[in-house]
Amino acid sequence: MIGHTVPVRNDLDRIEAAFAGTPLAGLPIEHGPSGTVLVADIDPNRLHEAWQAADALVPVIGRRPVMVTDDFGDTLTRPEPEPGPSESELQAFVAAAESSDPWLTYRHYSEDDEGDQGEIEYYARGMAGVDLTALVPDVALPTSRPALERALYDRVLADPNLYAQVLGSVGFVTQTDYWYTPDSVLLMLLPTSDVRSSGYWVDFFGALTPEYQQKLAEVLAQWHHRWDARLVASWGTMLQFQVGRRPAPGDEAWTAAGQLKALAPNLDLSQWEVAVALAAGDAWFVHNRP
């Protein structure tokens, strides 16, 4: 078995009983697509609290939670239980995910760019208001974008006052206040307790094919293992994570920032800015849109 896979016949009464005494108590519980269960009437202003309550119940109900929305016209509820993947199908999905290297596929579109003087000025200016152009007159040209940005990050790390200034301008991206909040929020309970296999059900613009879904599943597993990153919400073009272990400033934060930027090409900060933010926040935001 992969984690705890719930049979197709959902035990809604058992889930309802588990919700007693939590912020989820009394909310409508319905069948969802592909073996999932949906909890309706989630208060959008308390979605993180509702998700935390469901996450704490994973050992009890055997289902990982993720917030979803029907704002975009999708009908998610089902009148009857809908079968999910077979055990063999899910095992094949997990095996393919585990054997993949997602970071060969998820790469930021500017990863291989060569930087001239204009590129240096663009990235050194930053996106959040702290200009580092005065710190890089000695960078040899041409240089790759990652090398340029790592040079900028190292200069920020070497200056505590500058580091604090940058953090003050970029810290918002790792706070829940920055998260997107739809008008209608549903709690989707996936028919598995396993992180890697949960990727089978995640709806994300950056994973539109089975191959990409497998790679996303491996990202979920790697981030969960390394940073205790747990998927809170999937809004189609956006993913939101609660993070239990922050990467330390330096190599850890730099690597995590590069991965986040690779998965989230529409996150409007430079990698050196993201690296500063990740070391100080517990809420990661992924944005990948057309």
pLDDT in tens, the chain (290 residues): 466 555 444 479 999 999 999 999 999 999 999 999 999 999 999 999 999 999 999 999 999 999 999 988 778 989 899 999 999 999 999 999 999 999 999 987 666 666 666 667 777 888 888 888 887 766 677 778 888 889 889 999 999 999 999 999 999 999 999 999 999 999 999 999 999 999 999 999 999 999 999 999 999 999 999 999 999 999 999 999 999 999 999 999 999 999 999 999 999 899 999 999 999 999 999 999 98
C-alpha–C-alpha distance, residues 251 and 254, integer Å? 5
C-alpha–C-alpha distance, residues 286 and 154, integer Å? 24
pLDDT at 276: 97
Neighbouring residues of 151: CB distance < 8 A, sequence distance ≥ 6: 136, 139, 143
Extents of the domains making up the chain: 1-290
pLDDT at 268: 86
E strand or H helix that includes residue 238:
strand 238-243
pLDDT at 8: 40
C-alpha–C-alpha distance, residues 281 and 290, integer Å? 27
Encode 153-179: b = buried (16+ Cβ within 10 Å), e = exposed: bebbbeeeebbeebbebbbebbeeeeb
pLDDT at 75: 84
Q: What are phi and psi of 7, to 5 degrees?
A: -60, 160
Q: What is the pLDDT of residues 218-227, one digit of tens each?
A: 999 999 999 9
pLDDT at 121: 74
pLDDT at 117: 61
pLDDT at 107: 85
pLDDT at 254: 97
pLDDT at 142: 74
CB burial of residue 104 (10 Å; 0-12, 13-18, 19+): exposed
